[in-house]
A = this chain, B = another copy of it.
Amino acid sequence: MKADLDRLMLERELDAIIVTGGEEFNPARYYLSNGAQITHGTIFKLRGRPASLVCSRMELEEAAKSGLDVKTDVELGYYDRYKEAEGDSIKATALHWSDVLARLGLSTGRVGLYGTWQINKTIALYRILLAELRAFEFVVEEKATLIEEAMLTKDAEEIARIRSVAERTNAVMELAWERISSLRPDGEYLLDESSRRATIGDVKDFVRRELMACGLEDTNMIFAQGRDAGFPHSRGEADMPLRMGQAIVFDLFPRELGGGYHHDMTRTWCIGYAPPEVQTDYDTVMEAFDIAVEAFGVNKPTHFMQEAVLDHFESKGYATTRSDAATMEGYLHSLGHGVGIEIHEGPSISHLRRDDVFQIGNILTIEPGLYYPERGYGVRVEDLFVVDENGELISLTSFRKGLVIPLKCAGEKAK
């Protein structure tokens, strides 16, 4: 967690870390600036010292909310360096960084580089840093970075925020279920209260509005029906009408409004009834889900859990990417991933990642699935879990796991 940064810097023999980037959402900067809504700005942290944020004067008020030591680039002489570099902003940045590091008391040492930025700007800056700031060794972590490692475990405040997002997301999922169950069948299609044919776009609009009403923002949910559900990352077609008995993969992973912590959950639904092959594969996926939860243990390598699920699917004759690397059907992805400021963080639950272990403070998904685009369906079920202080795996996703959404009007007729 964030409190581990100094220890992680020591382990990696880093004297300082720098987090920078442009206007794009920058998870590392968001994390170290405690969620400040800045669109530019660079964070400098020496080991054992609090972090400093250097930003434009335009951002000063938002930057102050970081709680960090905030300085403007103007007062630290950036524009003098810009003149000296004859308008070459990349070179000016490199020279400016050396000024900031000197001001913080660092004249030599190992400096780690982090953040998200345009590829061309990153490489250009890196080349100039190597050429101009020879007193420093710039360290580039090729695998999991120090910041990713800190993010692997969440502190109490982060867990509370994710728990709150989880509760709201579960409530919106319930509203979506209720809304769909109140539709009326019209042959294979469904009609809303205005007797219009209900579409995927209608459901997505409804869900986005309900998320917003409780302070969350959609980050491009998946609501994919039929063949689309057979591709794990198909978003679903807005103008496609809902259809009775077709598998719908509904993967909802909103975050706090304006950027922040996520919740991530998936349900597979069939409206009215489920075709037998979908029900069979759904049952197999639910068995896989239970096997995964059973396979959990603190300090156990995560790949054991994926392997237990692979064994299960393969023993029942399903293709997996382990049994056939090129398969386009069956079980196609890793079993889960960490969730936080980014929708995909560590740890990864994959047979291709051998180094990750479950730790107290992890927040992660378990999400087995089976995909058959040519047969016109896919199935995935996903909950989010926290590994609590006792090492227990606790679900944050309370919403029911029913496959079939019964139509209320059908119940009324039956009475």
Q: Identify the A interface with B (CB < 8 A).
A: 20-21, 23-25, 28, 37-39, 56-62, 74-75, 79, 82, 87-88, 90, 113-124, 126-127, 140-142, 145, 205, 208-209, 212, 217, 220, 228, 231-235, 257-259, 325-326, 328, 332-333, 342-344, 352-354, 373
* Given A23-B344, A74-B326, A326-B74: A58 in contact with B120 (beta carbons within 8 A): no
- Complex formed: what's the CA distance from A231 to B209 in Å? 31
CA of A75 to CA of B114, assembled, Å:
32
| Complex contact A123–B116 (CB within 8 A) | no
In the complex formed, the residue of B with least CB distance to A75 is B326
> With contacts A25-B25, A61-B228, A61-B373 known, what are 7 further pairs, Cβ within 8 A?
A28-B118, A59-B231, A61-B234, A62-B233, A82-B352, A217-B217, A220-B258
CB distance from A412 to the nearest CB of B (A): 32
Chain B proximity of A122: nearest CB distance (Å): 4
Question: Which of B23, B209, B258, B373 lies in contact with A209, CB distance below 8 A?
Answer: B209
- Known interface pairs A57-B328, A208-B212; A118-B116 also in contact (CB < 8 Å): yes
A152 to chain B, nearest CB (A): 16
Q: A119 contacts which of B21, B74, B127, B235 (Cβ < 8 Å)?
A: B21
Listed A/B pairs (23) with beta-carbon separation below 8 Å: A24-B25, A37-B235, A58-B333, A61-B373, A62-B231, A62-B235, A74-B325, A79-B325, A87-B353, A113-B119, A114-B118, A114-B120, A115-B119, A116-B116, A116-B119, A117-B122, A118-B145, A119-B122, A119-B140, A120-B140, A120-B141, A120-B142, A123-B123
A220–B141 Cα distance when bound, in Å, is 32
Cβ contacts under 8 Å, A75 to chain B? 326
Q: Verify B113–A120 contact, CB threshold 8 A.
A: yes
Q: Are B122 and A123 in contact (CB under 8 A)?
A: yes
> What are the residues of chain B within 8 A of A59 when measuring CB–CB?
231, 233
Expressed in whole angstroms, the minimum distance between the Cβ of A356 and any Cβ of chain B is: 12
- Which single residue of chain B is at the shortest CB-CB distance from A20? B119
